[in-house]
Chain A
Amino acid sequence: MSLVCLGLEGTAHSFGAGVVSSEGKVLSNNWDMVSPQEGGIHPREASRHHSDKGPDLIVKSLTEAGVSFHDIGLVAFSRGPGLGPCLRATATMARSLALKLGVPLVGVNHCVAHIEIGCLESRFKDPVTVYVSGGNTQVIAFAGSRFRTFGETLDIAIGNMLDVFGRTVGMHFPAGPGIEREAGKGANYHTLPYSVKGMDVSYSGMLTAARKLHSEGVGLTDLCFSIQETAFGMLAEVTERAVAHTKKTEILLTGGVARNKRLGEILSGVANRHGATFHTVSPPLAGDQGAMIAWTGILQYNAGDRLQIADSHVWPRWRTDEQDITWRLSS
């Protein structure tokens, strides 16, 4: 008998509701994103957005999936990591639904969900995952029953760096697409801090340097070009170290910044050099959405995971490697 899971995602700027079956079929996947006219994401405003838009999005996803509330056999929600107020608003909806429908509840790690939905789409078994978004920059691989972060940012996420720089030059959130457009017209490289520390990267120095160059009158197209080449080059190096160290043969690119074509091109070059296959998760499944939560919820549920309502508080700082991956064979 097929199990139908409703997954609720709400860790940051997006609220998403997705319906997925236990065969791995994404039946529906709807989300809505806070896009402030100016400035960044305010956690309180974002959580208000989630509670305002959440109920309609849930109904919309059920309708699109052609299921009723009573067909839902499992509710999964993003338990962390993320902004506290957003997580709590989302968890409240998930708990109420699970209680009302009398179905089990599962708490999902947001980063793990990005990997699992990527594996579902690509049919990858055991990839090195490059997860890049506004809040996260991680190079992750499975080892010894956990997803280990082999490399990550020591300060701000790559998407955050792009957004803040974009804001400086008058772009709207999210600034990634605008920067990619401008970069396509640039050709002159301006040296920016290339900061790789062992397996980790740092983007704050580059942000400061880029803003300084901008204030000194360096053209936007060349600056965007230089930012992309430097930031993605750093990521390529860390990915390459992880691939060389783990000897894995698949590279998966996911997260909001995975939409960037140049990043995909660079990482596909890395894959090629190491004889690995490469996959960029398609935009609807790469960003923050509910289907990834629903699918990972099913995997956890099938491995015996259940979350009691009383224990279902959120974990804003839940790290990728703190979740036991009981549904994968230990390597």
Chain B
Amino acid sequence: MEAFKLKLEQWAMGAESTIFRTEQWGRPIILKWRPEKPYLLKEIDGLLRRTRTNRECRMLTYARALGVPTPAVHWADCANYMIAMDFIEGKQLKQLAAEVSFSKLHELCHQFGRTIALMHKGNVVHGDPTTSNVLIDTTSRLWMVDFGLAEWNATIEMKGVDLHLSGEH
């Protein structure tokens, strides 16, 4: 049997990862790789890469079981801080927000909110639910990605974001 060789194509650059698009058995997949950051202390960098890769694998699957659309994890290579998952063809909500009509955006935001509610009902928090981490596929389905900061057994406090509102004027 032939060991598979991956033809990597850099797809996107995240804050802490490099995303490659490749194919396995004729189907497109995404390889998410957390590279070393030479500017950070090795101990801290290593700990972050290890725990985030680990956590992301678990939480993508756990959230999926709650009914949250997330890309399925195909395999993970913890020694190289790499996860292979479904490729979702579509755009980030961030990009779409500028392109679609207000009523469409309204609908997407509702869908986004319902997805967050699904997670929170299952006591999971995403940890970084920005419009960069929401993908809308070609059939208008919404997907949550980037679970490196996700947590389970979330308390109410963790489910909220502090609003820094000024009360003095």
Contact = CB atoms under 8 A, between A and B. Distances in A.
Contacts of A273: 37, 39
Contacts of B13: 244, 274
Nearest to B51: A194
Interface in A163-196: 189, 191, 194, 196
B166 A317 contact: yes
Contacts of B164: 149, 152, 319
Interface residues of A, number: 35
Contacts of B162: 154, 200
Nearest to A322: B166
Interface stretch (A15-23, A55-63, A230-238): A230-238
B149 interface: yes
Interface stretch (A98-106, A249-257, A263-271, A297-305): A263-271
B60 to A, nearest CB: 18
B128 A189 contact: no
Contacts of B149: 196, 198
B44 A318 contact: no
Contact of A198 (B37, B43, B44, B128): B128
B168 A237 contact: no
Q: Most chain-A CB neighbours within 10 Å: which of B15, B127, B164, B166?
A: B15
A230 B166 contact: no
Contact of B166 (A199, A244, A318): A318
Contact of B39 (A152, A196, A269, A315): A269
Q: Most chain-B CB neighbours within 10 Å: which of A200, A245, A316?
A: A245
Contacts of B38: 269
Contact of B41 (A233, A243, A318, A322): A233
Contact of B169 (A240, A245, A274, A315): A315
Given A240-B15, A269-B37, A229 B128 contact: no
B132 A237 contact: no
Interface in B41-62: 41, 43-45, 47-48
B138 to A, nearest CB: 23
A316 B39 contact: no
B167 interface: yes
A243 B16 CA distance: 11
Contacts, number: 74
Contacts of A241: 15, 128
Contacts of A44: none
Contacts of B16: 237, 240
Nearest to B92: A245
Nearest to B130: A245
Contacts of B132: 244-245
A194 B168 CA distance: 32
Contact of B128 (A149, A194, A199): A199
Interface of B: 13-16, 37-41, 43-45, 47-48, 94, 127-130, 132, 149, 161-162, 164, 166-169
Given A196-B149, A245-B15, A315-B166, 10 more contacts: A149-B164, A152-B164, A191-B43, A230-B44, A236-B39, A237-B16, A241-B15, A241-B128, A268-B39, A269-B39
25 contacts: A149-B164, A191-B43, A194-B47, A194-B48, A198-B130, A199-B128, A199-B130, A229-B40, A233-B40, A233-B44, A236-B39, A236-B40, A237-B48, A241-B128, A244-B13, A245-B132, A265-B39, A269-B38, A269-B39, A272-B39, A273-B39, A317-B166, A318-B166, A319-B164, A322-B166
List 7 A-B pairs, minimum CB-CB distance, nearest first: A269-B39, A244-B15, A229-B41, A241-B15, A317-B166, A240-B15, A198-B128
